[in-house]
Amino acid sequence: EMLGVDLYQVQTSRPRGEDNMAIKFGRPIELRDTPRRQTDALASPSLDLAIRMRRNRKSEWARRLVRENVLTTDDLIWPMFVVDGHNTRTPVASMPGVDRLTVDQIVRDAERAAKLNIPCIALFPFTEPALRDEQGSEALNPDNLVCQAVRAIKKEFPDIGVLCDVALDPFTSHGHDGLIEDGKILNDETVAVLVKQALTQAEAGCDVIAPSDMMDGRIGAIREALDDNGFGDVQIMSYAAKYASAFYGPFRDAIGSAKTLTGDKRTYQMDSANSDEALREVELDIAEGADMVMVKPGMPYLDIVRRVKDHFAMPTFVYQVSGEYAMIAGAAANGWIDGERAMMESLVGFKRAGADGILTYFAPKAAEKIKAES
Ligand code: PBG
């Protein structure tokens, strides 16, 4: 199993005799050999119902016919973690099935993505602690891990989309997305650095710039700089409504910022209690030139996805973040839920909420499932 942990395998290899909560795909919930109306207890008059909702659910073909939303491989963006070294895949403990990959291995997974018809991959670096500093200066190194990975992928697979995150947290010694002075995140000074980071990544060949930092005014500043420097075709997907969330925990593990992060990100990421504010954030990013907008995290914020899609009719994306992945993969690995079903149910839920696409660590697994069933 290429992902390291096969959710399905773990699930099916549980000891016999245990209460089997899991339901396999294709296995009907109603047992075929249930006795039919043999006892008086089951005999009762029919209800006089003109409308019976269950008629459209009576069989698989009928359910397919009335299905409102379908997940395809075109909906998937696959986030990957890149680390220094050669020919190595290091598991991320809190994300069973996800590895940090050296550049050569990232190229192999890019190939896997291309074969699975996944349109786009997203790159996040694990920066060596020695290269992290207060200013996050490694972000501007044209030969940093992300830039190396972009060039290596584009060389072999020019037709796959490559998205790069813009924020300083993988590069700062304090783990924040921006510059700090006297314990305060400096907005405008940070934006100036983010602009340079975006240009560095565009120079390396990245297709989509995805600012995840939540500083005010960064979309406009980045758009202007891209246009002024001959990168008019580089798209911007803004993390427009990004909430301060406990669900980013495993990601911070993966990029090695969990231990270094001082305090939290609540002065720049949104308060999870807010919804109207998300519309204002999205509106600003659209006005500043975002081509696509994103809501993050995913499952606790499906209402925001729906409001954003209805309100702006923009290409709207959602990030099923590391903690959401960990909950499903972890529970599945313990045999507590059926991992494959939970994965597919969570992904189609995003589509139902109005998302045009989903960033998800399940991308290869889901794409394989879609491929196998088509
Ligand atoms: C960095 C960034 C984060 C994520 C994507 N970009 C973490 C954070 O804001 O702390 C989270 C992704 C995930 O949890 O899967 N700004």
Ligand 1 contact via 194 beta carbon (within 6 Å): no
At residue 43, does pLDDT exceed 80? no
* Identity of the residue numbered 48: D
Report the run of H or E that residue 44 belongs to, with start and end: none
Residue 23 pLDDT? 45
Q: What does the buried/exposed string (b/e) look like for 58-97 if buried means 16 or more CB atoms within 10 Å of the residue's CB?
A: eeeeeeeeeeeeebebebbbbbbbbbbeeeebeebebbbb
> Is 265 in the active site?
no
How confident is the model over 14-26, as a mean pLDDT? 43
Confidence of residue 36 (pLDDT cuts 50, 70, 90): low
Ligand 1 contact via 248 beta carbon (within 6 Å): yes
At residue 21, does pLDDT exceed 80? no
Give the span between the Cα atoms of 104 and 109, in whole angstroms: 9
Give the span between the Cα atoms of 222 and 226, in whole angstroms: 6
Cα of 192 vs centre of ligand 1, distance in Å, is 20
Q: How many helices (H) and strands (E) does the chain have?
A: 12, 12
Cα of 260 vs centre of ligand 1, distance in Å, is 14
At residue 18, does pLDDT exceed 50? no
Q: Whose CA is nearest to atom 2 of ligand 1?
A: 212
Give the span between the Cα atoms of 318 and 358, in whole angstroms: 5
| 23-27, 132-136, 183-187, 352-356, range with the lowest pLDDT | 23-27
How confident is the model over 63-92, as a mean pLDDT? 98
Q: Residues 231, 202: contact at Cβ < 8 Å?
A: yes
Ligand 1 atom closest to residue 321's alpha carbon, by position in its atom list: 15
Confidence of residue 263 (pLDDT cuts 50, 70, 90): confident
Marked catalytic residue, from 154, 265, 296, 369: 296
What residues contact 340, with CB distance under 8 A and at least 6 apart? Answer: 7, 8, 11, 25, 332, 365, 369
More confident residue, 112 or 15: 112
At residue 207, does pLDDT exceed 80? yes
At residue 147, does pLDDT exceed 70? yes
What predicted TM-score, i.e. pTM, was given to this entire model? 0.91
Q: What does the buried/exposed string (b/e) look like for 197-207 if buried means 16 or more CB atoms within 10 Å of the residue's CB?
A: bbbbbbebbbb
Instruction: Return the SS3 of 77.
Output: strand
DSSP string, 300-335: GGHHHHHHHHHHH---EEEEE-HHHHHHHHHHHHTT
Ligand 1 contact via 322 beta carbon (within 6 Å): yes
Confidence of residue 44 (pLDDT cuts 50, 70, 90): confident
Q: What is the mean pLDDT of the chain?
A: 92
Q: Whose CA is nearest to atom 12 of ligand 1?
A: 321
> Is 242 in the active site?
yes
Cα of 236 vs centre of ligand 1, distance in Å, is 17
